[in-house]
Amino acid sequence: MNIYSSKFAIMIIIVLVSILALQVMGNSKNTTQMIDSETCELYVIDSQINAKQYLNEFDSKCLDFKNLNP
């Protein structure tokens, strides 16, 4: 197979895109985004090390609900 042919280039692109898709799908299973019920701050839980990491972002719906129920 000639490396300068268009079929070879298309095959390489398909292989690389499929590898990237598999990595993204594998990564999304390792973390879960959640909302802290007391502060309404978003955090992720890494299932490999079982630890919380706060994202310094807040859920607007949760904050609105907290403001309605003092």
pTM for this model (two decimals): 0.46
Residue 60 lies in a domain: yes
Residue 13 lies in a domain: no
**For residue 48, pLDDT beyond 90:** no
Question: Which residues, in sequence order, are bridge partners of residue 48?
Answer: none
Residue 12 lies in a domain: no
Contacts of 67 (CB under 8 A, 6+ apart): none
Residue 20 lies in a domain: no
- Cβ(44)–Cβ(33) under 8 Å? yes
41 φ, ψ (degrees, to nearest 5): -90, 140
Please tell me the predicted confidence (pLDDT) of residue 1.
66
Q: pLDDT of 4-47, one tens digit each? A: 778 888 999 999 999 998 887 776 655 666 888 888 888 887 77
**For residue 63, pLDDT beyond 60:** yes
Phi/psi class of residue 51: alpha, beta or left (left: φ > 0; alpha: ψ in -120 to 50)? beta
Q: What's the number of domains the chain is made of?
A: 1
Residue 6 lies in a domain: no
For residue 51, the enclosing domain spans 29-70
